[in-house]
Amino acid sequence: MHNRLITIIMIAVTLVLSPTLVDAAPNHKPHPQQPNHSIDWNAYPADIQAFKLQLDHIRDQQKALFKQMKEQHNQLRTATQTLSPEERKQFEASAGKTIEQLKNTRDVIHALRSQKHSAWDQFHKHAAMKKWTEAKADLESILKQKQQILVSQQNIVNLQKQLITLIKPATGTHLHSEG
Question: Using one digit for the tens of pLDDT, what is the confidence trace for 75-107?
Answer: 999 988 888 889 888 888 889 999 999 999 999
The model's confidence at residue 14, banded by pLDDT at 50, 70 and 90, is low
Rounded to the nearest 5°, which phi and psi values hold at 74? -65, -40
Rounded CA-CA distance 13/122 in Å is 39
Mean pLDDT of the chain: 82
Q: Domain segments of the chain: what residues?
A: 116-171
Whether pTM > 0.95 for this model: the answer is no
Residue 29 is classified by DSSP as -
Residue type, 127: A
* Span 111-136, average pLDDT: 95
- Confidence bin at 3 (pLDDT 50/70/90): low
**Cα 116 from Cα 53, distance rounded (Å):** 17
Q: What pLDDT does 55 receive?
A: 94
